[in-house]
Amino acid sequence: MSLGGFLLLLLIAAICGGIGQSIAGYSFGGCFTSIIVGFIGAWIGPIIARELDLPLFYTMNISGREFPFVWAIIGSAVFSLVIGVLSRGRKHQQ
């Protein structure tokens, strides 16, 4: 994977993590945390899709690797919600 592809992957993971945290209503930190949440969501999301027999749609091909954009957002939201409820995280203010 090239450096440009890696940086693009980090950017997309940060966006997915940020959107997922916003949907869940919990905020855990800044950009680095959003990247981590986005990558965990990209791991959890396809597992949810596979268990429910749902297709992986809107995947992005980044340097030869598929990134399930929509499922990463859904997985990030689920992960953020679970962690927020368990740790009584900081509720996102409107």
In a domain, 76, yes or no: yes
Beta strands of the chain (E only): which ranges? 59-62, 65-68
Total number of domains in the chain: 1
In a domain, 26, yes or no: yes
According to the model, what pLDDT value does residue 51 have? 92
In a domain, 78, yes or no: yes
Interatomic CA distance for residues 73 and 58, integer angstroms = 11
In a domain, 71, yes or no: yes
In a domain, 94, yes or no: no
What range defines the domain where residue 74 resides?
16-85
In a domain, 32, yes or no: yes
In a domain, 11, yes or no: no
In a domain, 75, yes or no: yes
Structure tokens at 52: 């429910």
According to the model, what pLDDT value does residue 90 have? 57
Structure tokens at 19: 């959107």
Interval 56-90: pLDDT, tens = 778 888 777 787 888 888 999 998 888 888 877 55
Structure tokens at 47: 């597992």
According to the model, what pLDDT value does residue 23 have? 86
What predicted TM-score, i.e. pTM, was given to this entire model? 0.79
Interval 3-55: pLDDT, tens = 888 888 888 888 888 888 888 887 777 778 888 888 888 888 888 888 999 88
